[in-house]
Amino acid sequence: MSRTRFARHGDLQIAYEVRGPRLTRRLPLLLIQGLALDHAGWGPAAGPLQRLFRLVLVDNRGSGRSPASGPFSVTDMADDALAVLDHAGIGAAHVLGASLGGMIAQDLAMRYPGRVGRLVLACTTPGWPFAYPMPLPSVRLIAGSGGLAPREALRRHVENALSAATVADRPELAQQIIDSQPPVWERHPGAWQAQAAAGGRYTSSVRQRCIRARTLVLHGTADRVVNPRNARLLAARIPHADLVTFPSLGHLFFWEDPGAFAAAVTSFLGGADLKPGRQIARRYSSMISLTGRRGLDGTGRP
């Protein structure tokens, strides 16, 4: 069992865990989760990654065992992640960020290029003013969450983060995700809203073109939280970026098909080039679409 460690950033103590092989020539892999999810939010996808990489799993401020204090920004959260690397004695690491964590990972790569090996951005957005907006049903769900009991609001958000097909065919998966997380509204009142506000204010202007790290963009084509067209925008804006889509999977596609997700990440971080039309992870259930810089349907359309 890995123990929880704490890195100080200003007045905050940022919790993290280190897992995986101690003796490896590979760079460590820093994992940064999204809105309201702590380090357990990677679910079963962490297992295959842990067998190959030394994982550094962060609890963002306001999640898990990391407290939050007042309003904050994505840049503040990226500096939290940098403090974790410093505390762990890691000079450079590959970085994997999902959703809000993908925005944090972008900011880290843009401002501290020497600390980032390769970059994996999952189910995320390039930020305003260029990003496609959140789908309207998700906006309405967020707006109406205040009138719901906390547990009911959580269930609705988790189900919305899965594809409609997954919710219908595997209703138990939503409960598994809920059970993996402590009740954030009890431990960190207001933190969910502060994280959401930080993501809503995130703007990158044209800075993604300055990212030097080789980058892999991952997205489920049935994402109902972050418009899947944002994946193509990111891949087009970041030099040396590849785009891999997961047909019919939702925002939390790494829960829906953790094997295919882990296969795409390990193939990329292992140095294999992802070329359009090449299929990887044949033994997993998802038929991964390797689209390079083309559109999400492989035709060149967004």
Model confidence pLDDT, tens digit, residues 29-72 = 999 999 989 999 999 999 999 999 999 999 999 999 999 988 99
**pLDDT reported for residue 265:** 98
**How many percent of the chain have pLDDT more than 90?**
73
Residues 6+ away with beta carbon under 8 Å from 206:
237
Would the pLDDT of 287 be above 50?
no
Confidence band, pLDDT 50/70/90 cuts, at residue 276:
very low
From CA 36, how far away is CA 54, in angstroms rounded? 24
Would the pLDDT of 300 be above 70?
no
- Write the single-letter amino acid at 143: A
**pLDDT reported for residue 291:** 52
Question: Buried (b) or exposed (e) across 202-222, using 16+ Cβ within 10 A?
Answer: bebeebbeebebbbbbbbbbb
Average pLDDT over residues 120-146: 91
Written as six digits, the tokens of 216 are 């892999």
Taking the mean position of all CA atoms in its chain, how far away is CA 270?
19
Pick the CATH number of 5-290 from 3.50.50.60, 3.40.50.1820, 3.40.50.300, 3.20.20.70: 3.40.50.1820
Tell me if residue 6 falls in helix, strand or coil.
Answer: strand
From CA 302, how far away is CA 300, in angstroms rounded? 7
Residues 6+ away with beta carbon under 8 Å from 168:
none
**pLDDT reported for residue 297:** 40
**pLDDT reported for residue 293:** 46
Taking the mean position of all CA atoms in its chain, how far away is CA 85?
18
197-225 confidence digits (pLDDT tens): 999 999 876 789 999 999 999 999 999 99
pTM: 0.90
Average pLDDT over residues 82-99: 98
Written as six digits, the tokens of 59 are 């609890």
Tell me if residue 217 falls in helix, strand or coil.
Answer: strand
**pLDDT reported for residue 301:** 38
Average pLDDT over residues 251-280: 78
From CA 103, how far away is CA 68, in angstroms rounded? 18
> With contact defined as beta carbons under 8 Å apart, do 255 and 173 qualify?
yes
Order of all β-strands in the sheet with 116-122:
5-9, 12-19, 55-58, 29-32, 93-98, 116-122, 215-220, 241-246, 289-290
Confidence band, pLDDT 50/70/90 cuts, at residue 149:
confident
From CA 184, how far away is CA 67, in angstroms rounded? 10
171-189 confidence digits (pLDDT tens): 999 999 999 988 766 677 7
